[in-house]
Amino acid sequence: MNHPSASLRLESYQRLIEISLDLASTLEINPLLKRIVTAAAELSNAEAASILLYDAEKQRLLFECSTDEKNLQPLKKIEIPLESVAGWVVVNKTLAIIPDVHADPRYYQPVEDKVPFPTRTMIAVPLIAKNRTVGVLEVLNK
């Protein structure tokens, strides 16, 4: 008997395989990051996703890519401090699941003040390369 959740899980696994093959064939960074945020939003059933890259020298994060193309330029102008959720993820090298961002003192409100996208929930995952955290993938409003 074909169970609906098993079928959905199989579709998700198949989509992950497609994405990983696609990512392995992409050498340019911007299309690669765009595919990652698109896949993250799609697979998690979220309203949006973004990637912030970590600037270790300046101890901050900067938005690099988002599924919300129209607000990407204003996002790129915002420096995210290490005291934020994304900063906490970088420092601790672990994911953060925030069921209500407005109840979390680490939530960096200036982002929502500058971009007309209401954030309610967040999952933030560290992006690690060669044992260094290079950024954070955020999925919003799952």
Q: What is the DSSP string of 37-54?
A: HHHHHHHHT-SEEEEEEE
Predicted pLDDT of residue 29: 78
Predicted pLDDT of residue 1: 47
113: domain CATH number is 3.30.450.40
Stretches in the chain below the pLDDT threshold 50 = 1
Which of 114, 125, 123 shows the shortest CA–CA distance to 73?
114
Residue type, 36: I
Domain that holds residue 59: 4-140
Predicted pLDDT of residue 8: 64
Q: Which residues contact 96 (CB under 8 A, 6 or more apart)?
A: 85, 88, 89, 106, 122, 123, 124
pTM over 0.85: no
Predicted pLDDT of residue 103: 98
Number of domains in the chain: 1
